[in-house]
């Protein structure tokens, strides 16, 4: 069931656009502010709204746009790879690692990835292990996980 839900959420279409590195960094800055707001709501035990759920759509859109622009790959190819990675990692980790801290944990992970991307964009030649593309791919899957959690279909 989880795998079907993950596929359904991941393959939902979002609009993407060609962006340069500066635009990608600016989009990430704006989304980080939205993530902070959602974090404050959730830690205050307020229910997430539909607008809050849209933040995760925005992250997918930003990451897909960045991947298209940086790597030249098409959306279908990226989504298929995201799906394979997500299923493999969920099999490796199990569902408990996401459930333990829920959406709040995902917000922390997403903001870590956003900071990493901004740093990678500034110092691209300095990093060898994880590329901007790898980090954007992680952001896509974490965002899909967040939507699934907020909609109550994680497991």
> Is 78:137 a contact under the CB 8 Å cutoff?
yes
- Please give the share of the chain, as a percent, with pLDDT higher than 70: 95
Lowest mean pLDDT among 14-18, 48-52, 87-91, 116-120: 14-18
What global pTM score does this model have? 0.78
| Other Cβ atoms closer than 10 A to 153 | 15
Please list, in sequence order, all residues whose beta carbon lies within 8 angstroms of the beta carbon of residue 44, skipping any fewer than 6 positions away.
Answer: none
The pLDDT tens digits for 64-80 are 999 999 899 999 999 99
> Is 38:28 a contact under the CB 8 Å cutoff?
no
Cα separations in angstroms, 123 against 21, 22, 64, 116, 152: 12, 13, 21, 10, 39
pLDDT of residue 101: 87
Greatest mean pLDDT range, 34-43, 75-84, 114-123: 75-84
88, pLDDT greater than 90:
yes
94, pLDDT greater than 80:
yes
Q: pLDDT grade, residue 97 (50/70/90)?
A: confident
Domains of the chain, by residue range, sit at 2-150
């Amino acid at each position: 069931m989880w795998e079907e839900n993950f596929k359904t959420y991941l393959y939902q279409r979002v609009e993407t656009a060609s962006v340069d590195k500066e635009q990608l960094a600016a989009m990430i800055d704006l989304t980080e502010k939205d993530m902070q707001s959602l974090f404050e709501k959730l830690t205050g035990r307020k229910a997430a709204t539909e607008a809050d759920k849209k933040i995760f759509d925005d992250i997918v859109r930003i990451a897909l746009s960045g991947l298209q622009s940086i790597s030249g790959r098409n959306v279908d190819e990226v989504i298929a790879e995201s799906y394979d990675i997500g299923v493999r990692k969920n099999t490796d980790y199990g569902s408990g690692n996401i459930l333990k801290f829920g959406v709040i944990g995902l917000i922390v992970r997403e903001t870590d990835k956003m900071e990493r991307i901004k740093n990678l964009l500034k110092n691209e030649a300095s990093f060898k292990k994880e590329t901007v593309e790898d980090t954007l791919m992680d952001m896509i899957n974490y965002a899909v996980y967040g939507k699934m959690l907020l909609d109550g279909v994680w497991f």
